[in-house]
A and B are shown apart, each in its own frame.
Chain A
Amino acid sequence: SAVISQKPSRDICQRGTSLTIQCQVDSQVTMMFWYRQQPGQSLTLIATANQGSEATYESGFVIDKFPISRPNLTFSTLTVSNMSPEDSSIYLCSAGTSGSTDTQYFGPGTRLTVL
């Protein structure tokens, strides 16, 4: 199994600022994804973090608002740019390895509040 850590665990930010969330996996993984979860709601995929290339974004999410980096097979960052109160949510990183035993694990999440 993969152990995933995220930093920060929570933050309170001012409108108009940006926050970068880090995701670290304890082993090399093929897949890394970023999800958003509104409190009490389900998870929505933001993007696939591709190692060495631009992230692949889902409908409704754009690179200018959520730039993502993935410099290697164990690390990724998600930036929430020019934040507004509507960005208040839990942001979750997930990772997994493709193959016969592929399983996707989730980090503990980053709880973001935008004032």
Chain B
Amino acid sequence: QQQVKQSPQSLIVQKGGISIINCAYENTAFDYFPWYQQFPGKGPALLIAIRPDVSEKKEGRFTISFNKSAKQFSLHIMDSQPGDSATYFCAASIRGAGGTSYGKLTFGQGTILTVHP
């Protein structure tokens, strides 16, 4: 099963609050989990990514939490700012030792984040 399920579909947060977006996957062969941020009219931009050998990765205000046994991962945006308002996509791919599936991203459905000032 190649699906990646993402929730919530939309999220409204006050400035300074914490935004949390969750994703779940089925395929245990996935070994690379990036998050992308997309602004209207732009292509997705890589925000942060994690591999399953760690449970958490932090870059600035952005943190990925990863639960391998539950096959879930989440994005936390601390001190959310109006400039963070965008659509966020989780994704998963198979890196491993290569092969025909190498690098192909399966995306979640997306979360529209609105941060009110």
Give the total number of A-B pairs whose CB atoms are below 8 A apart: 58
Is there a chain B Cβ closer than 8 Å to A103's Cβ?
yes
Q: Judging by beta carbons under 8 Å apart, are A104 and B109 in contact?
A: no
* Chain B residues positioned under 8 Å from A105 (CB to CB): 46
Instruction: Check B44–A33 contact: CB distance below 8 A.
Output: no
Return the contact of A43 from the options B34, B49, B89 (Cβ within 8 A): B89
Inter-chain CA distance A102–B105, complex, in Å, is: 13
Task: Determine the chain A residues whose CB is within 8 A of the CB of B110 once the complex forms.
Answer: 41-42
Is B43 within 8 A of A96, CB to CB? no
Residue interface bits B106-117, CB-to-A below 8 A is 1, else 0: 111110000000
B100 on the interface (CB 8 Å rule)?
A: yes
Q: A108: which B residues are within 8 A, CB to CB? A: 41-43
Give min CB distance, B53 to chain A, whole Å. Answer: 13
> 0/1 per residue, B65-95, Cβ < 8 Å to A?
0000000000000000000000001000101
Residues of A within 8 A of B103 (CB): 30-31, 33, 48, 96, 98, 102, 104
Q: A58-B104, A102-B95, A104-B34 are known; give 16 further A-B pairs, CB within 8 A.
A: A33-B104, A42-B108, A43-B44, A43-B107, A48-B100, A92-B43, A94-B105, A96-B103, A98-B98, A98-B102, A103-B46, A103-B49, A104-B93, A104-B105, A106-B45, A109-B43
